[in-house]
Chains A and B, each alone.
Chain A
């Protein structure tokens, strides 16, 4: 019978006669007419269509079943054949609870047994639509969706939207329900022609997907505190923040928070940073011992060189030491007290003594020559200021300031040996590095450069030892 209907629908000839008996006939006629669509070929839904068709029926000598010339299932089929009809559909509507039920009884030309198709619905239109679909050999879907305006796809193609009654061809199909903020739900169906499937679907809240590519691959991933054994495979997660921790031997543990968006696939690449060695870690910040005590006392031993240059000292016995012609090596010691802040370095008072003995050429007044047999320098540094930048226990530092040096020259000239002294102003600087053995004791080395008027200078290399004292800081 389905074949017959399909043939009728395609060829539109001969048509199906429709009858709507009973009180509800006109309403049902309108409902079925609406369900059939705008151009229902092959259906005589009303009297006008019926008369138009019958007007084409002519007398024929071949009366068929009307004159025992052929076999028909029954008298009605004989009439259908004589009037060139594919059959007749008798449509009846009844109330069913709060809804309606429409029964379409098809008396096909080829079958003695009528075929019954029915449909139910909240309204007469819905029931008629379902029954008509069944008659057409289609499957009726009664969809109840949450949310009710969810979009519907049939076999991947846009199909409809929202709860309601739909019809689809018989067979296997894939229904897909989608809604913003909800998880997509796929529903395979299989139905035969005329079946009615009632499907209730709740679309759960949408989820996001997260997958990780981790380097090194041996890293262990924890998601929300739980071990995630296969982070490379996308995992469904509820929208919102999720804690992520990645650990690997020899690498720094990485902890972060990932915000998963609904309906989004997050593919993340995570590369762990190798762990820092201890020494680097240590060097990255000053050791507390370098800051433990603010007051310092320092003693040093220095090897220096008093460079040649203009002296300009009057000699006690007359004459003048005009120039030191060569450098003089010195040996000396020093002592200083100071204060140290985080980076500020203040040397409140420094005192050093250096002396050297060697016959060094010198120029005297009138370009006369002689020797300098010895030189001693007692230097006072009243307030040098500098900076330090300690890392771990190592502390480079620099100081600069002014000072006063009391120089004594032992000169030897043909007129005799004599000694001459003078106090001079100087500009000096000191560069060095120290190592703090603990919060008190330190040792280091450095270089001191003093610049005297007349272009003379002295430089000294020194080794030093310091001791830090924890005294109150009055300004704090």
Chain B
């Protein structure tokens, strides 16, 4: 079994020694591995590679890699372009990224042989992982995200900008970007949870910082649906906390359906905006589904604000019912 595995590598190694690199057409013809992403610069890079303008191809594929850092195929194309362009360090890192992202690809053995060929061209062995400056920048991004610092020059998003501006491409960039997004969402969800939880409060400062983080994130790329929902939710809560009740109603309106917490927050905003009728309608609907007594208590207060004491008492009786009192 061992012998069977080694035989192709030896043959490829012999071919590499003879400078038998893949022809330019292999960039797009090698169907054994992952393909290239759907990006306009892919065509640019492919054209430059086929025209043996390998430096331009490297630039084009690096641009593609920055936008698609988790695409294995672009690293293989970048690696081969860099090899022909005489950039063995870039080639070695790209080959390693390819094998990291697609370890089970059909051409993995072949690419490993190419990686060894590229490594021979290095004057000194290249350590695993990104360069030190890139690694340091990655650490800064993660640290700031972990500290819930997203917006501003000292935020994780600014650090991510710095990282992206460096002459380095790799899946670590994608991981850092994804980590920032994930942290932003998690913290936002946690903040909404704190706003809803009776035993905790979401401070105005925390809400404002989170809203600013989402704004900064939106500037660096379009938000998906979940990102947009969270951005609006935290912004609406921040407006509610800031006493901007009407704005909060409008901000929360599109994203509240489906989330009882946000619907309740919208009801609070409506009540605070003295739109008691709308608040009562929303709370009445929410009361049918929610089992939190605060809904009934707030409903009673809204009715009391309208002078409907009997209806308020009805709501408060519900609010004061002990858990399980209506069962059995």
Whether B319 contacts A19 by the Cβ 8 Å rule is no
Partner of B293, one of A21, A76, A90: A76
B139 interface residue (CB < 8 Å to A):
no
With both beta carbons as reference points, the residue of chain A lying nearest to B241 in the complex is identified as A68
With both beta carbons as reference points, the residue of chain A lying nearest to B302 in the complex is identified as A59
Contact bitstring B241-268, A, C-beta under 8 A = 1, else 0: 1000000000000000000000000001
Whether A79 contacts B199 by the Cβ 8 Å rule is no
B272 interface residue (CB < 8 Å to A):
yes
Interface residues on B, range: 35 or more
Cα A414 to Cα B309 in complex, Å, equals 168
Partner of A71, one of B199, B240, B294: B199
Cα A59 to Cα B292 in complex, Å, equals 20
Q: Of residues A51, A54, A58, which shows the largest number of chain B Cβ atoms within 10 Å of its Cβ?
A: A54
- Which residues in B have their C-beta under 8 angstroms from that of A17? 320
- Which residues in B have their C-beta under 8 angstroms from that of A65? 198, 294
Whether B198 contacts A72 by the Cβ 8 Å rule is yes
Partner of A82, one of B195, B241, B297: B297
Contact bitstring B125-143, A, C-beta under 8 A = 1, else 0: 0000000000000000000
Cα A434 to Cα B323 in complex, Å, equals 120
Whether A58 contacts B304 by the Cβ 8 Å rule is yes
B201 interface residue (CB < 8 Å to A):
yes
Whether B198 contacts A51 by the Cβ 8 Å rule is no
Say how far B271's CB is from chain A's closest CB, in angstroms.
Answer: 8
Partner of B294, one of A19, A54, A70, A75: A75
Say how far B114's CB is from chain A's closest CB, in angstroms.
Answer: 59
- Which residues in A have their C-beta under 8 angstroms from that of B202? 68
Say how far B307's CB is from chain A's closest CB, in angstroms.
Answer: 10
A83 interface residue (CB < 8 Å to B):
yes
- Which residues in A have their C-beta under 8 angstroms from that of B293? 75-76, 78-79
- Which residues in A have their C-beta under 8 angstroms from that of B43? none
Say whether, besides A21-B325, A69-B201, A72-B198, A63 and B309 are in contact (CB < 8 Å): no
- Which residues in B have their C-beta under 8 angstroms from that of A88? 320, 322
With both beta carbons as reference points, the residue of chain A lying nearest to B321 in the complex is identified as A19
B174 interface residue (CB < 8 Å to A):
no
Whether B297 contacts A79 by the Cβ 8 Å rule is yes
Whether A63 contacts B301 by the Cβ 8 Å rule is yes
A358 interface residue (CB < 8 Å to B):
no
Say whether, besides A70-B201, A71-B199, A79 and B320 are in contact (CB < 8 Å): yes
A471 interface residue (CB < 8 Å to B):
no
Whether A78 contacts B322 by the Cβ 8 Å rule is no
Cα A69 to Cα B240 in complex, Å, equals 11
Say how far B280's CB is from chain A's closest CB, in angstroms.
Answer: 12
Whether B298 contacts A66 by the Cβ 8 Å rule is yes
Q: Is the interface of B mostly helix, strand, loop or mixed?
A: helix
- Among residues 187 to 229 in chain A, which have CB atoms less than 8 Å away from a CB atom of chain B? none
A185 interface residue (CB < 8 Å to B):
no
B108 interface residue (CB < 8 Å to A):
no
| Given A19-B321, A74-B198, A90-B322, 19 additional A-B pairs, CB 8 A | A21-B324, A50-B317, A54-B300, A57-B304, A57-B316, A63-B301, A66-B301, A67-B268, A68-B201, A72-B198, A75-B294, A77-B198, A78-B294, A78-B297, A83-B297, A83-B316, A83-B319, A83-B320, A112-B199
Cα A79 to Cα B324 in complex, Å, equals 17
Binding site for A on B (CB under 8 A): 194-196, 198-202, 240-241, 268, 272, 292-294, 296-298, 300-302, 304-305, 309, 312-313, 316-317, 319-325
Say how far B286's CB is from chain A's closest CB, in angstroms.
Answer: 13
Cα A73 to Cα B241 in complex, Å, equals 21
Say whether, besides A21-B325, A66-B268, A66-B298, A71 and B320 are in contact (CB < 8 Å): no
- Which residues in A have their C-beta under 8 angstroms from that of B298? 63, 66, 82
With both beta carbons as reference points, the residue of chain B lying nearest to A89 in the complex is identified as B322
Contact bitstring A157-171, B, C-beta under 8 A = 1, else 0: 000000000000000
Whether B319 contacts A79 by the Cβ 8 Å rule is yes
Say how far A144's CB is from chain B's closest CB, in angstroms.
Answer: 35
Whether A19 contacts B195 by the Cβ 8 Å rule is no
| 26 contacting pairs across A/B (C-beta < 8 A) | A19-B320, A51-B313, A54-B300, A54-B313, A54-B316, A55-B309, A57-B300, A57-B304, A57-B312, A61-B272, A65-B198, A66-B294, A69-B201, A70-B201, A71-B199, A71-B201, A73-B198, A74-B198, A75-B198, A76-B293, A78-B294, A79-B293, A79-B320, A82-B301, A83-B320, A90-B322
Whether B268 contacts A19 by the Cβ 8 Å rule is no
- Among residues 277 to 293 in chain A, which have CB atoms less than 8 Å away from a CB atom of chain B? none
Cα A120 to Cα B325 in complex, Å, equals 23
- Which residues in B have their C-beta under 8 angstroms from that of A78? 198, 293-294, 297
Cα A435 to Cα B305 in complex, Å, equals 132
- Among residues 106 to 126 in chain A, which have CB atoms less than 8 Å away from a CB atom of chain B? 112
Cα A14 to Cα B194 in complex, Å, equals 28
- Which residues in B have their C-beta under 8 angstroms from that of A79? 293-294, 296-297, 319-320
Say whether, besides A21-B325, A59-B305, A61-B272, A74 and B297 are in contact (CB < 8 Å): no
- Which residues in A have their C-beta under 8 angstroms from that of B294? 65-66, 75, 78-79, 82
Say how far A70's CB is from chain B's closest CB, in angstroms.
Answer: 7
- Which residues in A have their C-beta under 8 angstroms from that of B199? 71-74, 112
Contact bitstring A78-106, B, C-beta under 8 A = 1, else 0: 11001100001010000000000000000
- Which residues in B have their C-beta under 8 angstroms from that of A57? 300-301, 304, 312, 316
- Which residues in B have their C-beta under 8 angstroms from that of A50? 317, 320
Closest 10 CB pairs of A and B: A59-B305, A72-B198, A21-B325, A79-B297, A90-B322, A78-B198, A79-B293, A75-B292, A68-B195, A79-B319
